[in-house]
Structure 1
Amino acid sequence: MTISVVIADDQELVRSGFAMILDAQPDITVAGEAGDGIEAIAAVRGHRPDVLLLDIRMPRMDGIEAARTVCAETATRVLMLTTFDQDDYVYDALHAGASGFLLKDVRRDDLVHAVRVVAAGDSLLAPSVTRRLIDDMVSRRPRPAPVPSGSPSGPGRPGGLDGLTQRERETLVLLGRGLSNAEIAAELVVSEHTVKTHVSNVLMKLGLRDRVQAVIAAYESGLLQPGTR
């Protein structure tokens, strides 16, 4: 199956460089390019790509607003492009529904791998740098009050935690810590297949799009505090 991608960045050299790398892959095709958030939304609506590479800082409409619209309207998965040290908006982008982020100086192989991972329905959450970044973004904001059981909150306005079993709560905490399925299985002393079932149940019951939003929900529900490992 071919993965279709739209690339949105206001720097033409960045777009063309990413496009050249991705188009060279036998299983990836670049369906379109965009120079700002408005053009990105239009390109996604026109091409319905599997993945949108989306810069955070763009003219007319920034990547956060564009991600919010794309994630609300389509099944396209969003990968944000950031400079890491300079962008203070990565948490906002993840909260808008993005499935992860890439540094603009990403290596060729890592770019290709990221597109394939996100297109497959996973998120870029395993690297420790991602966990540190999410912790940092959460800690910069005033702590919300813990979510009462049964109350709507968080990404996608999931239901409260009452609907989760104890095992599913434990799984959500471990997701929030950025653990992989294999690591969660080791922690809970269960099979990876069982973990996949728990993860699917957590996402479904809380109305979450993916594991990234599960991390945010774990923090905003009060199950985890910034800096938790």
Structure 2
Amino acid sequence: MRKKITLVIADDHLIARKGLVQVLEAMEQYTIAGEAENGIELLNLCREKNPDVVITDIRMPGMNGFEAIKQIRLLPQPPAILALSVLEEMEIYELLAAGANAYLDKNARHHEFRETIAAILESKQYYYNFRDAYLKELLASHAYPNLPPATEKFTSRELELMKGLSEGKSISALSKELFITPSTVKYHRNKLYEKTGAKNFIGLLLYIAKNMVSGRYG
């Protein structure tokens, strides 16, 4: 029997939280390890239950979702983190910087939960379609720290990889599409870290998205 994916759900609104729990419990692949109504409870549950995935609201009393995500990222074995909220423009960047793997609007459909959870469990990395015009506009209109201009010369393989990552493709999907092994995909990704100065996968995706908008790839 396949091991179920353990989830911890955090939302200070009881009805919203219970509604989400009911939806996810109806999907056979998930089991709910715990519920929290603020960031402190969420952090304690992560330490106690060691879940596979955290699904958290951002606007909560006491320790909010942003701070909770930062603290969860410091755990020895941090879970994948899916933020579920309705955010303003700059809050999207703050969410990524805090360490969330993915973001869904609270009006997301059931299949979007399944697809997003599967994606972040596969790669443990931020999963978003950077072709989205809204995020392109956001990244083009703000200056982000620690994102150098695109002055490096990238290989054709690296450009292919950046294009695939910008489309939200996973490592396994890129491996099949480019006819290379997953370890080779990771090798090129690590080279991109060096060339772009990105500290992590989120930083790399932000770099790609920003330079997709301006058309500058060195």
Give 2:140's aligned residue.
139
Q: Distance in 2 between matches of 1:14 and 1:27?
A: 21
Q: Which amino acid aligns with 2:148?
A: V
Q: 1:165-209 deviations in whole A, cap 9, x for unaligned?
A: 7255324531453253667976xxx42x35x44431244453866
Q: Which runs of 5+ in 2 are unaligned?
A: none
Per the TM alignment, residue 98 of structure 1 is displaced from its structure 2 partner at its CA by 1.2
1:117 matched to 2:119: yes
Contact in 2 for aligned 1:176/1:219 (Cα 8 Å): no
> Paired residue for 1:215?
205
Distance 1:58 1:98 in 2: 16
Q: Which shifted more, 140-149 or 173-182?
A: 140-149
8 A contact 1:71–1:78 mirrored in 2:
no
2:140, 2:213 within 8 Å by CA — same for their partners in 1?
yes
Task: Give the AA of the match of 1:110.
Answer: E
CA distance in 2, matches of 1:183, 1:120: 13
Partners of 2:165 and 2:205 within 8 A in 1: yes
- What secondary structure does 1:65 align onto? helix
Alignment identity in percent?
Answer: 24
For the aligned residues, what is the CA RMSD? 3.4
Matches of 1:34 and 1:97 in 2, distance apart? 19
- Quote the residue 1:201 is aligned against: 187
Kept in 1, the 8 Å contact 2:175–2:185? The answer is no
Structure-1 separation of matches of 2:175 and 2:214 = 19
**Per-residue deviation, residues 59-83 of structure 1 (Å, max 9, x unmatched):** 1122122112212323300011122
Matching of residue 80 in structure 1 with residue 83 in structure 2: yes
2:18 maps to: 16
| Structure 1 counterpart of 2:99 | 97
Matched, 1:70 2:72: yes
Confirm whether residue 169 of structure 1 aligns to residue 172 of structure 2: no
Please tell me the residue identity of whatever aligns with 2:26.
A
State the TM-score, normalized to the length of structure 1.
0.72
Aligned to 1:37: 39
Could you list the runs of 5+ residues in structure 1 that have no partner in the other structure? 150-160
Inter-partner Cα distance in structure 1 for 2:183 and 2:52: 24
Structure 2 counterpart SS, 1:135: helix
